[in-house]
Amino acid sequence: GAGVSQSPSNKVTEKGKDVELRCDPISGHTALYWYRQRLGQGLEFLIYFQGNSAPDKSGLPSDRFSAERTGESVSTLTIQRTQQEDSAVYLCASSARRGNTEAFFGQGTRLTVV
Amino acid sequence: GESVGLHLPTLSVQEGDNSIINCAYSNSASDYFIWYKQESGKGPQFIIDIRSNMDKRQGQRVTVLLNKTVKHLSLQIAATQPGDSAVYFCAENWNNNAGNMLTFGGGTRLMVKP
């Protein structure tokens, strides 16, 4: 596609349920990032994938959070047993492997846990 | 760089004045820097970039300054307009063995008063 695509754009879930968020990066982009952004706050790094290398999971806040990526394409972020504190916008970005190049962001998934 | 996940500092300026947004980055090996603008309800979007072999780069109404000695980056917006109201993030890029890795600063909210 032309840009980074995230789905769903909005998700309302009940506390305790699991949710899965999807990110389709720009074709050919080997690097993929997930961020969490709470209302009125900055970008909180969650996880980084780069090609077939082991992902950098240092930003995942708890073991309820996990992310997978199939090769250099789609990534899913899974939150198990959601809590109200998980309510936020989840942003995905992708960039090329080498060279001075920006990361392109999707529009985000707004997650609301009720 | 600045810590992420914190409440955003706010810069309030009068319409028509110049704005200066500052950022401290953390990695002396970073070779490429980007400023992003995030409007309400949207993902961050690229504004301007600068390579580490430069200390200044100008765009349309925006200028980025890089001081590698003190690891400081600034974004100057000339004749600030209401449409400039947004959150601004700096990002630093460095290359590890796997490829590019982009790290974001905490962000600054710019509010333009009419």
What mean pLDDT do residues B72-94 have? 96
Task: Please tell me the predicted confidence (pLDDT) of residue B10.
Answer: 94
List A residues 52-71 in contact with B (Cβ-Cβ < 8 A).
Answer: 53, 56
Q: CB–CB of B107 and A42 under 8 A? A: yes
- Per-residue pLDDT at B5 exceeds 50: no
> pLDDT above 90 covers what percent of chain A?
82
Q: CB–CB of B51 and A108 under 8 A? A: no
- Per-residue pLDDT at B3 exceeds 70: no
Task: Please tell me the predicted confidence (pLDDT) of residue B1.
Answer: 33
What's chain B's average pLDDT?
91
CB B4 within 8 A of CB B106: yes
pLDDT tier, A2 (very low <50, low <70, confident <90, very high otherwise): confident
What mean pLDDT do residues A63-79 have? 94
Provide the pairing of β-strand A75-79 with B72-77.
unpaired
Task: Please tell me the predicted confidence (pLDDT) of residue B61.
Answer: 96
Task: Please tell me the predicted confidence (pLDDT) of residue A97.
Answer: 79
- Per-residue pLDDT at A3 exceeds 70: yes
- Per-residue pLDDT at A113 exceeds 50: yes
- Give the N- to C-terminal CA distance of chain B in Å, as an integer: 32
Range name among A23-32, A58-67, B81-90, B95-104 with the lowest pLDDT average: B95-104
What mean pLDDT do residues A42-55 have? 91
Q: Torsion-angle region of residue B28: left (phi > 0), alpha (psi -120 to 50) or beta?
A: alpha
CA–CA gap between residue A108 and residue B9 (Å, rounded)? 22
A61 CB neighbours in chain B (<8 A) are: none
